[in-house]
């Protein structure tokens, strides 16, 4: 993919059409060309393959499993676009997850338009961009978290996503459908969650998630 500095090409992925349209208009006004929009994972994958954008701007949560599996599949495929996650989640845990999955940046939706443009241009230029509200915490975490992983950091991507969905009020079978796994597999993940987080019930899992800003 080319990396024309003057006008990055972008694909937007967000399940809210009005959000996508507003973002597209803002970016076009800033000289950033929007090649297309998608509202769910499989549509996004097809669009990215067809248009070959330089930057992928995506929400954290959308149908088809959300950002993490899409990021991982793009990285596994080779020659992915630069990836900037734009989300409402002002949480260290979410930021670390997407960066470890292979994203190039993390930005929250309450940021100013100028910050969004800066973030897109930064990842387009090959940099890692983290919203200033979380940058210090993220870099401290990455610096200090080199030992054995415990608690939230010990969770797999699927386990983390199941915890997030349960905390948001999803029933186990509904969470399984979102994650594209069977209910029995989701039940196994829930058991692992309880073991790793040292809790004894789904209610305690949910309380843990809410106390650690993991929901939605």
Query: Quick count: other Cβ atoms within 10 Å of Cβ 83?
Result: 24
pLDDT in tens, the chain (216 residues): 444 456 899 999 999 999 999 999 999 999 999 999 999 988 999 999 999 999 999 999 887 778 988 998 898 887 889 999 999 988 888 898 899 889 999 999 988 889 999 999 999 999 999 998 899 988 887 777 654 566 787 888 889 989 989 998 999 999 998 888 899 999 999 999 999 999 999 999 999 988 888 876
67: nearest Cα among 79, 54, 51, 56: 56
Alpha-carbon gap, residue 45 to 25, rounded angstroms: 22
Cβ atoms 54, 176 nearer than 8 A? no
Query: Which pLDDT value is given to residue 1?
Result: 44
Confidence (pLDDT) at 91: 86
Enumerate the CATH 1.10.10.10 domain ranges in the chain, comma separated: 151-211
- In CATH, the architecture of 151-211 is Orthogonal Bundle (1.10)
Q: What is the CATH number of domain 9-144?
A: 3.40.50.2300
pTM of the complete model? 0.78
What is the reported pLDDT for 20? Answer: 93
Q: Are 115 and 27 contacting, i.e. CB atoms less than 8 angstroms apart?
A: no
As annotated, the residues of the chain forming the CATH 3.40.50.2300 domain(s) are 9-144
Q: What is the pLDDT of residue 145?
A: 62
């Amino acid at each position: 993919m080319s990396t024309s500095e003057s006008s990055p090409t972008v694909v937007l992925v967000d399940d809210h059409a009005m959000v996508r349209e507003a973002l597209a208009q803002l970016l076009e006004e800033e000289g950033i060309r929007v090649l297309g929009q998608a509202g769910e994972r499989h549509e996004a994958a097809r669009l990215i393959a067809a248009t070959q954008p330089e930057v992928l701007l995506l929400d954290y949560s959308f149908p088809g499993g959300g950002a993490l599996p899409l990021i991982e599949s793009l990285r596994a495929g080779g020659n992915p676009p630069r990836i900037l996650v734009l989300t409402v989640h002002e949480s260290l845990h979410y930021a670390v997850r997407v960066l470890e999955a292979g994203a190039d940046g993390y930005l929250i939706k309450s940021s100013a338009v100028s910050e969004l443009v800066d973030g897109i241009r930064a990842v387009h230029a090959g940099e890692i961009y983290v919203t200033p509200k979380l940058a210090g915490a993220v870099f401290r975490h990455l610096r200090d978290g080199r030992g054995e992983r415990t608690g939230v950091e010990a969770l797999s991507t699927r386990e983390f996503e199941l915890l997030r969905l349960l905390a948001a009020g999803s029933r186990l079978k509904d969470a399984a459908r979102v994650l594209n796994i069977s209910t029995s597999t989701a039940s196994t993940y829930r058991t692992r969650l309880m073991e790793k987080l040292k809790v004894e019930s789904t209610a305690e899992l949910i309380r843990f998630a809410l106390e650690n800003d993991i929901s939605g």
